[in-house]
Amino acid sequence: MINKVEICGVNTSKLKVLKESEKLELLHRIKQGDMEARTQLVNGNLRLVLSVVQKFTNRGENLDDLFQVGCIGLIKSIDNFDTGLNVRFSTYAVPMIIGEIRRYLRDNNSIRVSRSLRDTAYKAMQIKEWLTAQSDREPTVEEIAKEMGMKKEDVVMALEAIVEPISLYEPAYNDGGDTIFVMDQVGDKQSDKDWLDEIALKEAIENLGEREKKILSLRFFVGKTQMEVAKEVGISQAQVSRLEKAALTRIKKQI
């Protein structure tokens, strides 16, 4: 249902999907200074932005804000795309959109620590300094917690809460070559390539005719046989088989 909601005043169920040939034509016009073509290309790729935004819905962020930020990434990809390269526009645009959204999340998702937690942490630091001066060594967390009359776990949580968070773009290693950032060492269940493949598949399906879409939906999502699909669509099984194969061939070529 997410494709039928309104986001940023845009009815997402009516978003236009452009064919790759139409995108290239608009891109060539844009290079010649055609601003109307630029607007058409932006509007024709809003569904692409929406597809990327859906991957960030579990962050608790306002979808309208993420959609607008994603549109900025889309515009940047339009302005920087090289039509001379043998690359699909969406292949170039998706990483740009993802990068813009990630940059926004990094810059605007500040961590807030409660006043009581901060007070506990600062008191623990004072106790630590006092114990260090008394015994001429650094005390353990257990010793600090005992002096404060608190559980060790609560003291650890308070101290960790006030530690300055490290940016994912913080350099972790550099041997004189390419710098390795913290982000490079963090795993992700779904890579950008997986996202791109999924979005490319959605685009390819959108370019099919309504009857082809229905046949594929009934066959591979509902799980009906070709004979059952033939009865529902009102054509012969042979026609279903032919249309199914042609649709799958078109999808493979586009992906």
User: What is the chain's Cα-based Rg?
Assistant: 27
The answer to whether the beta carbons of residues 79 and 37 sit under 8 Å apart is no
Residue 228: which H helix or E strand, with range? helix 226-233
Separation of first and last alpha carbons in the chain = 25
Q: What is the pLDDT of residues 238-248, one digit of tens each?
A: 888 888 888 88
CA dihedral 213, 218, 221, 222 (to 10 degrees): 160
Q: pLDDT-derived band of residue 168, with 50, 70 and 90 as boundaries?
A: low
Classify domain 115-161 by CATH number: 1.10.10.10
Helices (H), 81-225: 89-108, 115-135, 141-148, 152-161, 192-206, 210-216
Task: Supply the pTM of this predicted model.
Answer: 0.47
- Residue 26 pLDDT greater than 60, yes or no: yes
Domain with CATH 1.20.120.1810 in the chain: 2-108
Per-residue pLDDT, averaged over 49-60, amounts to: 80
Q: What is the pLDDT of residues 210-238, one digit of tens each?
A: 888 888 888 877 788 888 888 888 998 88
Q: Distances in Å between the alpha carbon of 67 and those of 7, 58, 220, 234?
A: 8, 14, 30, 40
Q: What is the pLDDT of residues 105-159, one digit of tens each?
A: 766 655 566 778 878 888 888 888 888 888 888 889 899 999 999 998 888 888 8
Q: Provide, rounded to the nearest whole percent, the portion of the chain with pLDDT above 70.
A: 74
Domain with CATH 1.10.10.10 in the chain: 115-161, 208-254
The answer to whether the beta carbons of residues 38 and 30 sit under 8 Å apart is yes
* CATH level 2 (architecture), domain 2-108: Up-down Bundle (1.20)
Q: Tell me how far apart the alpha carbons of residues 19 and 250 are, in angstroms, rounded to a whole number.
A: 12
Write the CB contacts of 45 (distance below 8 Å, at least 6 apart in sequence): 18, 23, 74, 89, 90, 93
The answer to whether the beta carbons of residues 154 and 165 sit under 8 Å apart is no
Lowest mean pLDDT among 103-107, 174-178, 202-206: 174-178
Classified as helix, coil or strand, 10 is strand
Classify domain 208-254 by CATH number: 1.10.10.10
